[in-house]
Amino acid sequence: MNYYLEITLLPNYEINLFSLWSKTFQQIHLGLVETQDAQKRVPIGLSFPEYKMGEKFGVLGSKLRLFAPDETALIRFDADKRLSRLSDYVHCTGIRPVPEAVKGYAVYQREQPKTGRERLARRYARRHGLDYEAAFNGKVELCARHGNATECERMLMSYSEMPHKTITTPFIRLKSLSNGNTFCLWIKKTDVENHSDGSFTTYGLSSTATVPEF
């Protein structure tokens, strides 16, 4: 990754940072969908330079960087044009070369927690043709394991009675392009020592490819 541009979100009394992330990232995602090749590979990777993880929760901060191997990919992407409707709330820099001295590298990838009771209830509702409230509060047959047991005990329990597990990974709330449903895009950061090439998804994320940190 040799070139980048930086986007700064500027929330105010009209729109908070969480809503601004949703609106901004939705446009970035739409643009990345248009840049993918026949193998659904995207040449642009993203980083969140203010990303921080705490004991109780993580934050993305207010900055987003778009990286590409050459200037052409970023010129074609045209971030200013894609974010023109948000021009009062975001600031885009010009395209710049990545500094020669970097602090290290990071992998930003999508994390998909599987234990959220609300998420499980929504899936159950879709599978059985129920509304969400009925699925969340109604009794269903669930499998519970005790200790190191290899077999599970079947029991009737509602999803609302399941222990709530807090997910600390920061996320952006987006709308699905395929069905219009709202979902959370959890973003996990892993610091690594060495650079690794690879392609990115239409969210600008990858489980293997790195982006520079500086």
User: Closest Cα to residue 64, out of 97, 17, 102, 120?
Assistant: 17
Same domain flag for 130 and 145: yes
Mean pLDDT of 172-179: 85
pLDDT recorded at residue 71 = 96
| Token representation of residue 58 | 């993580």
Would you say 206 and 119 are in contact if contact means Cβ atoms under 8 Å apart? no
User: Are the C-beta atoms of 73 and 35 separated by less than 8 Å?
Assistant: yes
pLDDT at 199 over 80: yes
Task: Tell me the percentage of the chain whose pLDDT exceeds 70.
Answer: 86
Q: Are residues 55 and 154 in the same domain?
A: no
pLDDT in tens, 1-44: 999 999 999 999 999 999 999 999 999 999 999 999 888 889 99
Are residues 21 and 88 both part of a single domain? Answer: yes
The pLDDT value recorded for residue 3 is 98
105 plus 23 within the same structural domain: yes
Domain of residue 20 covers 3-112+167-213
Q: pLDDT tens for residues 74-133?
A: 999 999 999 999 999 999 999 999 999 999 999 999 998 765 677 777 777 888 888 878
Q: What is the mean pLDDT of the chain?
A: 87
Question: Based on the domain organization, do 91 and 180 belong to the same domain?
Answer: yes
The two three-digit tokens of residue 114, written as one number = 């599987």
The pLDDT value given to residue 147: 45
Q: Looking at the structure, tell me whether residues 101 and 175 fall in a common domain.
A: yes
174 and 155 housed in the same domain: no
Domain count across the chain: 2
Tokens of 25: 């990232």
Q: How far apart are CA 45 and CA 62, in angstroms?
A: 17
Q: Please determine, for residue 206, whether its predicted confidence score (pLDDT) is greater than 90.
A: yes
Q: Are residues 22 and 72 in the same domain?
A: yes
* Residue keyed to tokens 């948000």: 86
The residues that bridge with 3 in the sheet, in sequence order, are: 68, 97
Lowest mean pLDDT among 147-151, 159-163, 176-180: 147-151
Please indicate, yes or no, whether residues 125 and 105 belong to a single structural domain of this protein: no
Question: Same domain, yes or no, for 49 and 122?
Answer: no
68 shares its domain with 157:
no
20 and 93 co-located in one domain: yes
Q: Residue 209 maps to which CATH number?
A: 3.30.70.2540
